[in-house]
A = this chain, B = another copy of it.
Amino acid sequence: MTQRILILGGGFAGLFAARELRRKLPKAEIELINAENYFVFQPLLPEVAAGAITAPHAVTPLRFLLKGVKVRKARIHDVDVSRKVVTIFQGVQRRPTEVGYDQLVVALGQETDLSRMPGLADHALTMKTLEDARRLRAHVIERLEHADITRLPEVKKEALTFCVIGAGFSGVETVGEMKELIDRSLKYYPNVSRGEVSVKVVEFAPRVLGELPESLGRYAAKQLEKRGIEILLGVGVKSATGTRLILSDGTEIPTRTIVATIGNAPSKVVQAMPLAHAHGRIKVDRMLRCEGQTDVWSLGDCAMIPMKEGASARTDFAPPTAQFAVREARQLAENIAASLSGKALKPFNYKSQGALASLGARRGVAEVWGMKLSGFPAWLLWRAYYVAFLPGFGTKVKVLLNWVMDAVSPRSTVQMRSEAPPAARYVHYRAGDRIFEAGTRADGFYTVIEGAVELTYPDTHTGEPVTKRVTPGQHFGERMVLGQERRSGTVHALEDTKVLVLDRDAFLKIADAFPVMRSYFQGYMKQTYDIDWPTPTPTQTQTQAPTTGREG
């Protein structure tokens, strides 16, 4: 009977595993499940963020790359190794779907977890997905647009300060490309001078690109500094707000742009799987078979792959790089094939051929077969290597075309996506921060989660200023239910504070639809401000719901 091989994840590990398995097992039924319908080439994300490559050209549909493999776009819910079934949710579907397998390959990579640093998860951008890259680009351009027209010096300073956390490959390439995007765009922003822009990279280690030899790290640092990028070494991140990055040494950096390239963590789905884990990653033997399992395999960033017997030190395990993932895929396919035909399995073995990093502005560093390269040659090698590595001929061509266009034409400063924040989000403030002031646009309803704020508003009758302390569980900004467009009060944080902000549209819809809220606010308004509840508030997006029987 034909074997059903199911692969979870469509990154380097999953994609190449599927391809190798397709070659080695022509009769097997092979299916790959991924959350996106395309393969994203991680190393190119910084260039997408910088607009050197347009997003759609940096990725390839998995269906193009996997002829003869069934591709399913779905979210993985859980794995049942005893029933040999994976439960997923696909499409808009809320109904769970079960997918069976004979052999399971887990290649789900890693996620980002910034929760250890207060505010960072809520205020930092990340660089993991294509959306991340597009968001970062739009965010940087929005800052330039704003800096060009604002009359407020402090707002301009925040807008023009860009911080990247982490100076590994991803951090260095991101900061380098981001600086290039800004430098090449400035000529379109007459009111922004080069000297006003500040781009920083923060690294906990004492040097950049720890993965590369010291001399190359030094070269990279010199190159970045020469281009005006400030490098802060040996310092960590303590916390973040919407306008501040606070470092472990207490430094406060006024900024509206924080890009976190740190915090790689195993995905929750992987951790929840009934498999043996180590540090949240999946324990496999040297044959890439999951510990204690006969038909479950794992590779790539989500797997802990020992490179020798009795591996214990960090360096005894395979590093989470594309280079390794591809070789792991080959060994994995061989071993699955061998196990099916009852042959002996072989341990995974591979020696890194080297490493490369692009610094942007046509500079790079590389160490290949022990040789060190830097500057333009290294940058060229970087591009050549990755284009060669890029799966799919069409994509190769498109990326090359993009590079040519980019070399001969200015960077487009089109700001593609509008920056609509989530309707319910956490926002963090430092003690003393102004949260909003009278006269500004009433854009949200605030509930205090941690800390305390002080609210000052004019008394409804006397107009005299009234001051009020708002603590966890209490709220402010609720006058929107009165249809108020502008703030009548001013609010600032008394302590470091975390609030839940519900945007205007969502808040008005709920207050209007949900009688509990209605009656609560009715009482609250009367008691607090001696104001009577208004006639139902129309929201931007028309709410023509009849009021008849609304209290039902």
A276 at the interface (CB under 8 A from B): no
| Chain A 452-470 interface mask (CB, 8 Å, partner B; 1/0) | 0000000000000000000
* Nearest CB on B from A423, distance (A): 3
| Chain A 243-282 interface mask (CB, 8 Å, partner B; 1/0) | 0000000000000100000000000000000000000000
- A56 close to B414 (CB less than 8 A): yes
A529 at the interface (CB under 8 A from B): no
Interface size class of A (residues with CB under 8 A): 35 or more
Which residue of B95, B397, B449, B541 contacts A545 across the interface (Cβ within 8 Å)? B449
- A145 close to B472 (CB less than 8 A): no
CB neighbours of A416 from chain B (8 A): 55-56, 130
- A96 close to B56 (CB less than 8 A): no
Q: How far is the CA of A543 from the CA of B450 in the complex (A)?
A: 11
A61 at the interface (CB under 8 A from B): yes
Q: Which residue of B lies closest to A147 (CB)?
A: B91
Q: How far is the CA of A71 from the CA of B497 in the complex (A)?
A: 37
CB neighbours of A361 from chain B (8 A): none
A422 at the interface (CB under 8 A from B): yes
* Nearest CB on B from A273, distance (A): 16
- A73 close to B131 (CB less than 8 A): no
A317 at the interface (CB under 8 A from B): no
- A415 close to B36 (CB less than 8 A): yes
Q: How far is the CA of A187 from the CA of B130 in the complex (A)?
A: 25
Q: How far is the CA of A130 from the CA of B189 in the complex (A)?
A: 23
* Nearest CB on B from A48, distance (A): 11
| Chain A 126-157 interface mask (CB, 8 Å, partner B; 1/0) | 00001100000000011001100111000100
- B514 close to A436 (CB less than 8 A): no
Which residue of B149, B436, B449 contacts A72 across the interface (Cβ within 8 Å)? B149
Q: Which residue of B lies closest to A521 (CB)?
A: B516
Q: How far is the CA of A423 from the CA of B59 in the complex (A)?
A: 28
- A37 close to B415 (CB less than 8 A): yes
A82 at the interface (CB under 8 A from B): no
* Nearest CB on B from A365, distance (A): 30
- A37 close to B93 (CB less than 8 A): no
CB neighbours of A551 from chain B (8 A): 473
* Nearest CB on B from A414, distance (A): 4
Which residue of B91, B115, B423, B450 contacts A145 across the interface (Cβ within 8 Å)? B91
CB neighbours of A544 from chain B (8 A): 115
* Nearest CB on B from A184, distance (A): 12
CB contact under 8 A between A418 and B131, given known A57-B54, A63-B413: yes
Q: Which residue of B lies closest to A417 (CB)?
A: B131
A552 at the interface (CB under 8 A from B): yes
Q: Which residue of B lies closest to A552 (CB)?
A: B473
- A94 close to B472 (CB less than 8 A): no
CB neighbours of A439 from chain B (8 A): 95-96
CB neighbours of A394 from chain B (8 A): 409-410, 412
- A552 close to B474 (CB less than 8 A): yes
- B94 close to A443 (CB less than 8 A): yes
Top 7 closest A-B pairs, CB basis? Answer: A91-B146, A423-B423, A424-B506, A473-B552, A94-B440, A63-B188, A449-B545
22 pairs, CB–CB < 8 Å, chain A vs chain B: A55-B56, A56-B412, A73-B145, A91-B145, A91-B150, A94-B436, A115-B542, A131-B417, A398-B405, A401-B405, A422-B505, A426-B541, A471-B549, A472-B546, A472-B552, A473-B513, A498-B545, A500-B509, A500-B510, A500-B513, A506-B506, A510-B510
